[in-house]
Structure 1
Amino acid sequence: MEQNQVSKSFLWSFLEQASVIVIQFVVQIVLARLLAPEIFGVLAIILVVVNILNVLAQSGLGSALIQDNDADDQAFSTAIWLSLGFAAVLYLLVFFLSGPIALFYGMVDLDLYIRVLSLCIFFNALNSIQRSYLQKTMNFRSLFLMNLFALTASGIVGIVMAYSGAGIWALIAQTIIQSAVACLVMAILTPLKVSLVFSKSKAKSLFSYGWKMCMTGVLATAYNSVSELIIGKTCTSGDLGLYSQGRKWPIAAIGAITNAVANVLFPALAKLKEDRAAFQNAIIRALQSGTYIIAPLCFLLAVVAEPLIAILLTEKWIACVPVFQVTCVSYCVLMLQLVNLRAYMALGDSGLYMKLHIIKLSIGVFLLAAVALTFHDIYVIAFVNGAYTVFSIICIDAKPAKRKIGIGILEQLRLTLPIFLAAGISTLVAYPVELLLLSYGLKLVLQIVLFVIVYVAISKALKITALSDIVRIVRGLFHRK
């Protein structure tokens, strides 16, 4: 696989992730001004049900198709019908359960809202297979265009309906239209043709891999919900708001890059898994190049946390700065997790992927509950959660790395140590600007400039190869033959 193709795929994947964040942010701001908070609360309840249905309906079949180098049109058609079949069964189930759910919450018409919004699981089931086809063929430009059209169209409809007084129906329509438009655009852009073909053997093979990915997704969704419930129960609602905001923004910023890398790395490694040397070389390059971008971004965000939050969220949110900073620092090793887990997935070991998540999430819930019940302090919770994030990545996610991919965690840390050193020194140099009596805007600019200058200088002094690799890749992207 050509390096230039991978680089362009990453660029389009990053643009896709960034466009989703920007468009959703703008649309949500407008809708928040037009609709009452209670309406968003109702939607949140509905989405708890719908999000779980989406994960179950898709059943990890998209990931199964990406890792299978022998997947053909018959396999994709089988996956589509299997996914739609799951969606139909789940919709019938939620159709009859929506009544009891509405009674439990004591909300009028909640059952109707759930039944209507749950229709999107059919579109999402189809869309997940379409996405996997484009990811497998490294066609991330089409994914970018799909999200651009779907988010823009649904956002406009949602805003117009909200302005017209449609209330909760504006948010329901926005969600359904986004899923429907995504399917339509994908059908136009994707050469994948759906046929009336279903192979039992391929269905069995795909489901054997996919159900483990599915369960992992369900567990992750449940873990996030339980975490907020625990913090909300042991701390005040205001503390939960600070904790949520302190984690949401760094996760969104860092996630735009890590998700882009993950989307490209998975199909790229899947294509190379038969060639051990090429597979390992791709892992090393991805680990070093990714860490060279992610680690300094995490440290830089931690450095500029106070002026950044004061400017974007106003000073009333300054209290969430410590949570923001701890989250950023703990995510500096995220590439170690991303590379190892995607390598396991590419090798077809979804069972290992699920096992690691079960171990991490089980320990995580117990640890969170113990700390929250003992201290009732979001800052202690954030610190322990951050420390556990680093521990789980190094000691749990990377433990099978030596056996599975031939590159153990000690070797991975050795390869990335100069990068962490450069980022750490840059942090020590840039952070003291925080002590100066300057405006938030000036502090932000000075810290960013100082950090970048020191980081690049140390990178050159330590002869970090990732710097020259990234420069060469960027030049190649804009080079016209």
Structure 2
Amino acid sequence: MRQERLMAEQRKTLTSVVWSISSKIAIFTLKFISVPILARYLSPEELGMVASGMIVITFLLMFAGAGLTAGLIRDAREDAVSDDTVFWTNLAVSALLAVAVFVWADPLATLLGAPEASWLLQVFSPLFVLYLGPDVASSQLARRMAFDRDAFVTVVAEALGAMAAIAVVLGGYGIWALIVQLYVSAVLRFFGLFVAAGYLPGLHFSSSELKRHMSYGVRLVGADFVNFLSFQSPIVIITRMLGLPQAGTFNLTNRLSDLPNQIVLTGLMSVLFPSFSRMNEDNARQAEVLSRTTRATTLLLAPLLFGIWAVSEPAMTVVFGEKWAFAAPVLGLLAVSKGIMSPCGSFIPYLKATGHASVLWWFGLGRAITVVAAMTLGAWWDGLEGLCLALCIANLFVLLAYLAIVLKVARLPLAQGMRDTLLPLAVAGAMAIAVRLAQGEGLIIFHGAVLQLAAGVALGGVVYALLLALTQRRLVLDLVRR
């Protein structure tokens, strides 16, 4: 009976992963079409202004929710009073933040080093309500493992947002294309999630339920805060040290280098958190799933990201046009920095689900200090490329520290941890180096960026398949059978 229950749980988790990743693939396709079109009509300064403005919104949203919806997902039961309490709390806080940002847009923009973006902050201020309002409905879908509904809403919202942005930019309205895209997607997601979850907020509020969820959520907010410093601080550092055009270049290349993570990692993490939470009574099972998902995630993500580095020159020209070709080294280094961190995709949901939020906080704080210091030094030393190279080096040390912490918590042997993380990374790295050398030695002799990109991708696929057959055959066969 227990075996049947575990198999049913595995099937449900796998189905959820498929739906979640499928939605990310659809969104990837939309962005792969829309982002290059927008990039050809927008300047680096305009992209930098939007990136700087969204930093403020993202930062404050992290505190606004106080991690309350994570507590809802972690609950084994659904409770109307609990859900409504979180909804009304989120709505009140998001409305207050919207007013505050609108009033204090000028000093906030100046603090970022982009005073010319203050009007954008005022335009963006209503996004707080649109982003935070449907979080309870989203948590209900996650708790039910109903990722097919969430995926449908997300894809439709992103598709119509991208179409609206393209229409606006082709109409000659420049930066307003990005603003329209954000609002169309946010509004559609807002109403779509309520319908998908069948959630209609009631007039319930419980201070005891709010306190219960805050006791768990506040710890996650602390971890999210330090992670924010690691992931979002580059825009602030670049804007203040190098200027808005460089920030726009970073923003554009970061979007492209982050697409593999957007496809695989975000979809996987959204499923793993509730999945690990359901296994809280079976620590051995949690550790087994952690090991398997770490290897699978690394085998899938690392070659995509290291592969972007290998073909960064033709990729930048093909995707964004000749005017952005200068940013190819930035794209390659950002992809490598993300590839190094690809094994961590299962670490964060595992630590969250097992109640180790304090571990995430302290580790995240150390990581944030390391990464921010490294990027600041790199930007001072060699501008934007120096910052990206420093990020690669810092992430390597972060990965090793992360691995040591997770192995200790999960009580897994060091040899297994090395096999699950460093070996797949080495295989992907070897593939990327082979492609890069083939290009450098003139073995790929096609003329034109499109043919060079296609040849590099094809060669990388063949080399990686051979390396997998030599080093990871058992895991690949096991995943295929499942």
TM-score, normalised to structure 2, is 0.84
* Structure 1 partner of 2:196: 189
Task: Give me the whole-angstrom Cα distance separating, in 1, the residues matched to 2:56 and 2:49.
Answer: 12
Structure 1 residues 304 and 367, CA, compared in 2 at 3 Å: closer, same or farther? closer
Which residue is equivalent to 2:343?
Answer: 336
Equivalent of 2:412 in 407, 410, 417: 407
Aligned to 2:4: none
Correspondence for 1:464? 473
Q: Indicate the RMSD between aligned Cα atoms, in angstroms.
A: 3.4
| Partner in structure 1 of residue 352 of structure 2 | 345
- Mean Cα deviation higher: 163-172 or 294-303: 163-172
Equivalent in the alignment of 2:436 = 431
Provide the residue aligned with 1:198 in structure 2.
205
Code of the residue aligned with 2:98 in structure 1: it is: Y
Matched, 1:386 2:392: yes
Among residues 276, 281, 286, which one is paired with 1:274 in the alignment? 281
> Structure 1 residues 400 and 125, CA, compared in 2 at 3 Å: closer, same or farther?
same
Tell me how far 1:412 sits from its aligned partner: 1.1
Cα shift at 1:130:
1.7
Q: Distance in 2 between matches of 1:391 and 1:254?
A: 20
**CA contact 2:260–2:304 (8 Å) conserved in 1:** no
In the TM superposition, what is the alpha-carbon distance from 1:392 to its structure 2 partner?
0.6
Secondary structure of 1:376's partner?
Answer: helix
Distance 1:193 1:368, change over 3 A: same
| Cα distance in 2 between the residues matched to 1:180 and 1:330 | 33
Structure 2 equivalent of residue 69 of structure 1: 76
Q: Distance in 2 between matches of 1:98 and 1:241?
A: 20
Q: Is residue 263 of structure 2 the alignment partner of residue 256 of structure 1?
A: yes
CA distance in 1, matches of 2:247, 2:355: 39
1:323-377 deviation line (CA, Å, top 9, x unaligned)? 333333343343432222211101122222222211111122222223333x234
Match of 2:382 among 364, 376, 380: 376
Deviation per residue, 1:366-409 (Å, 9 max, x gap): 22223333x234333322210111111211x2332233221255
Change (3 A) 1:240 1:204: closer
SS in 2 for 1:2: helix
Q: Is the partner of 2:374 in helix, strand or coil?
A: helix
Cα deviation for residue 283 of structure 1 reads 0.7
**Per-residue CA shift, 1:152-200, capped at 9, x if unaligned?**
4444555666777878776555533432221211122213443222222
Q: What is the CA-CA distance between 1:225 and the residue it aligns to?
A: 5.2
The Cα offsets for residues 58-117 of structure 1, whole Å up to 9 and x where unpaired, read as 222222222333453332222212211222332343354347668998779x66x65564
Cα distance between partner residues in 2 of 1:291 and 1:410:
16
Task: Sort the Cα spacing of 1:258 and 1:88 in 2 relative to 1 into closer, same or farther, 3 A.
Answer: same
8 Å Cα contact 2:269/2:349 also seen in 1:
yes
Looking at structure 1, the residues matched to 364 and 280 of structure 2 have their Cα atoms a distance apart, in angstroms, of 23
Give the letter aligned to residue 437 of structure 2.
Answer: P
Which residue of structure 2 lines up, in the alignment, with residue 140 of structure 1?
147
Residues 231 and 21 (structure 1 numbering): CA distance in 2 closer, same or farther, change over 3 Å?
same
Q: 2 CA distance for matches of 1:127 and 1:314?
A: 38
The number of residue pairs the alignment matches comes to: 469
The change in CA–CA distance for 1:236 and 1:80 in structure 2 (over 3 A counts) is: closer
Cα distance in 2, alignment partners of residues 246 and 402 from structure 1? 33
Give 1:451's match in structure 2, choosing from 434, 447, 460.
460
Q: Which amino acid aligns with 1:432?
A: L
For 1:103-252, what aligned pairs fall within 5 Å after superposition?
114=121, 117-156=124-163, 172=179, 174-222=181-229, 226-235=233-242, 243-252=250-259
C-alpha spacing 1:312/1:34, structure 2 compared with 1 (3 Å): closer
268-277 vs 45-54, which moves further: 45-54
CA contact (8 A) 2:230 2:372 kept: yes
Q: Which letter does structure 1 place at the counterpart of 2:407?
A: K
For structure 1, the residue ranges without an aligned partner over 5 or more in a row are 474-481
- Aligned counterpart in structure 2 of residue 283 of structure 1, from 255, 280, 290: 290
Q: Is the 8 Å Cα contact of residues 340 and 401 (structure 1) preserved in structure 2?
A: yes
Q: Once the 2 structures are TM-superposed, how far is the Cα of residue 240 of structure 1 from its aligned partner?
A: 5.3
CA distance in 1, matches of 2:479, 2:352: 26
Distance 1:457 1:158, change over 3 A: closer
Q: Percent identity?
A: 21
* CA separation of 1:350 and 1:35: change in aligned 2, threshold 3 A: same
| Secondary structure at 2:198 match in 1 | coil
Offset of residue 34 of structure 1:
7.4
Structure 2 counterpart of 1:479: none
Distance in 2 between residues matched to 1:42 and 1:233, nearest whole Å? 12
Tell me the CA shift for residue 148 of structure 1. 2.5
CA shift, 1:457, in A, is: 2.9
- Matches of 1:249 and 1:159, distance apart in 2: 17
Hey, what's the Cα distance between the residues in 2 that align with 1:231 and 1:47?
A: 15
Higher mean alpha-carbon deviation, 97-106 vs 256-265, is at 97-106
The residue identity in structure 2 corresponding to 1:469 is D
Aligned counterparts of 1:89 and 1:155: Cα–Cα separation in 2: 29
Q: Secondary structure of 1:398's partner? A: helix
2:5 equivalent in structure 1? none
SS at match of 2:281: coil
Give yes or no for contact 1:232–1:240 (8 Å, CA) kept in 2.
yes
Distance 1:160 1:97 in 2: 32
1:5-154 pair list within 5 angstroms = 5-24=12-31, 26-27=33-34, 43-44=50-51, 46-70=53-77, 72-98=79-105, 114=121, 117-154=124-161
Once the two structures are superposed, what CA deviation does each residue of 1:12-41 show, in whole Å capped at 9, x if it has no partner?
212222333443454556666778887766
Contact 2:47–2:248 under 8 Å retained in 1 = no
